[in-house]
Chains A and B, each alone.
Chain A
Amino acid sequence: MTPAAPPTTSPRHPQDPPPVPAAPASGETGATGTAGGTGAGSGPPPPPERGGAGGEARLYAALARVHDPEIRVLNLAELGVLRAARIGADGTPVVTITPTYVGCPAMDVIRADVRTAVLAAGYADVRIETVWSPAWTTDWIGPRARAKLAAAGIAPPGPRPPGARPSGAGPDGRRLLPLSVAAPPCPRCAAADTEEVTRFGSTACKALWRCRSCLEPFDHLKEH
């Protein structure tokens, strides 16, 4: 449905040229960043924790109840999947999300959950936009969310290795890629003596690890 939208309502389609870095006052811009800076620097803006303007507070409150279907302890904002939420010019809420992985199978569920939550909050409709850029990274998961992950038995991601630009041989000339980082401590007993069982765990974003001390297996949210 297109209710005679005047061209002033900035549709913000991904095909549009990179947006001019708008005045950073309100937290609702910055969803569609420029695509140029790949991975190299950790430039992208942190995910919005809550809405800036008052009119969006209710919207953000509704969205705070939407959890990632595969990581139930985090809501979309904590995970970094929620990029922006605003009230469009026609009064319809516009929610911008970004996938963790391009093929993340949870995205359809997330869209449905967002719709349900926003409608339940009293809005008549909602527009959900998906953006690819800036590419999601585990660096957007904040300290509080990491603590929640650990409490749920999921070892949170460590910092991505510096210069994790995927290319060429590693410093020792042998490791192909600087993918892996220090072993995560066991989220159950905090022992440091852990080992990777498999790099592809219960979901695309997790690897399976095992604690050599308490012998329990655990999920590890991969640095990405």
Chain B
Amino acid sequence: MTTAPPTAPGPSPAPAGPPVAYVLRPADDALIAAQRMAQWCTNAPQLEEDVALANIALDLLGQARALLTHAGGLEGRGRDEDALAFLRDEPEFTNVQLVELPNGDFAHSIAKLLFFAAYQRLWYERTAAARDPELAAIAAKAVKESTYHLDHAATWTERLGDGTEESHRRMRAGVAAVWPYTHDLFAADPLAARLAAEGVGVDPAELRPEWLATVEEVLTRSGLAVPAGDWAPTGGRHGVHTEHFSLLLMEMQSLHRAHPGVTW
């Protein structure tokens, strides 16, 4: 599936005002990353890693809950975190495609985590100084967690990249497979750019140089390199997703939709 980004400016996908849409981006990133990461539970290569990945997923889910709750509050139409997570349809999700990609083998998932955590850390770090105090407070907490995730991913990248022939091959393959989707993180985003210009938001495009430096440092010390090639599927921020996304959503939302309002 090639998902060409809409070249026209394109309307904002969220029905509500810009701040809500702006907050939904990182909320959806965290939510979908958490859901995907949680699929490693009971499947990781060793028990310790099982616990680690589950904990990382839990951190991401916590971030998603806080951000979704905040977005619902900004919107002011009574949608809570559950309504936003479970009752929106595919085109309404504005997460990057990177986080919805299938887990692949362990090295694939580590590559995803490396790239995503490096991005999240920068975004949260900048957002911790944002004008919206609630958003800033969430970011100030979350940045510590992303830092930890990044360190975990970097450690594994080095261990695999600088390990055996087989582990190196797999890590390199993982990086190569995931890399094209990293561009979506920094794709031009008129809404974010406008908010950044007004001093209330972060323009992801501005984060890329520092992100690249971090990622490149890790790859280099792991005996790997930044992949060549310029295929850059984008569109997540506009609600355009890969074919893997609907299956993930179906699994995530089915219980809530079958039993509306259920608690446990």
- Which residues of A pack against B, CB within 8 Å? 14-18, 34-36, 38-39, 99, 101-105, 131-136, 166-169, 174, 176-177, 179, 197-202, 204, 208, 224
Q: Do A197 and B143 contact each other (CB < 8 Å), given the known contacts A103-B61, A133-B136?
A: no
Chain B residues lying within 8 Å of A16, measured Cβ to Cβ, are 133
Chain B residues lying within 8 Å of A224, measured Cβ to Cβ, are 144
Residue of A nearest to B221 (CB): A174
Q: Are A176 and B214 in contact (CB under 8 A)?
A: yes
Q: Are A15 and B134 in contact (CB under 8 A)?
A: yes
Q: Are B151 and A200 in contact (CB under 8 A)?
A: no
Residue of B nearest to A14 (CB): B134
Q: Are A39 and B143 in contact (CB under 8 A)?
A: yes
Min distance, Cβ B139 to any Cβ of chain A, angstroms: 8
Residue of B nearest to A203 (CB): B55
List CB contacts (< 8 Å) of B140-180 with chain A.
140-148, 150-152, 154
Chain A residues lying within 8 Å of B58, measured Cβ to Cβ, are 101, 103, 105, 204
- Complex Cα–Cα for A58 and B232 (A): 61
| B59, B61, B148, B221: residue with the most chain A Cβ atoms closer than 10 Å | B148
Listed by A's residue number, 18 A-B pairs whose Cβ atoms lie within 8 Å are: A14-B134, A14-B137, A16-B133, A35-B136, A101-B62, A102-B63, A102-B142, A103-B60, A104-B62, A131-B137, A134-B140, A166-B121, A167-B125, A168-B214, A169-B217, A176-B214, A200-B152, A201-B51
| A135, A166, A167, A168: residue with the most chain B Cβ atoms closer than 10 Å | A166
Number of A-B contacts (CB under 8 A): 113
Q: Are A35 and B140 in contact (CB under 8 A)?
A: yes
Chain B residues lying within 8 Å of A197, measured Cβ to Cβ, are 48
Q: Do A102 and B145 contact each other (CB < 8 Å), given the known contacts A166-B125, A197-B48, A198-B51?
A: yes
Q: Are B59 and A103 in contact (CB under 8 A)?
A: yes
Q: How large is the interface on B (under 10, 10 to 19, 20 to 34, 35 or more residues)?
A: 35 or more
Main secondary structure of the interface of A (DSSP, over half): loop
Residue of B nearest to A132 (CB): B137
Q: Are B217 and A176 in contact (CB under 8 A)?
A: yes
Chain A residues lying within 8 Å of B143, measured Cβ to Cβ, are 38-39, 166
Q: Do A136 and B141 contact each other (CB < 8 Å), given the known contacts A103-B59, A103-B63, A166-B125?
A: yes
| B48, B54, B133, B134: residue with the most chain A Cβ atoms closer than 10 Å | B133
Min distance, Cβ B76 to any Cβ of chain A, angstroms: 11
Min distance, Cβ A6 to any Cβ of chain B, angstroms: 23
- Complex Cα–Cα for A201 and B48 (A): 8
Chain A residues lying within 8 Å of B141, measured Cβ to Cβ, are 99, 101-102, 132-133, 135-136
Chain A residues lying within 8 Å of B133, measured Cβ to Cβ, are 14-18, 34-35, 133
List CB contacts (< 8 Å) of B83-110 with chain A.
none
Residue of A nearest to B46 (CB): A198
List CB contacts (< 8 Å) of B16-67 with chain A.
48-49, 51-52, 54-56, 58-63, 65-66
Chain B residues lying within 8 Å of A18, measured Cβ to Cβ, are 133
Residue of A nearest to B34 (CB): A103
Q: Are B137 and A39 in contact (CB under 8 A)?
A: no
- Complex Cα–Cα for A15 and B70 (A): 9
- Complex Cα–Cα for A105 and B56 (A): 13
- Sample of 7 more A-B contacts, CB < 8 Å, known A134-B140, A135-B141: A35-B128, A132-B134, A132-B140, A136-B141, A166-B143, A167-B125, A176-B218
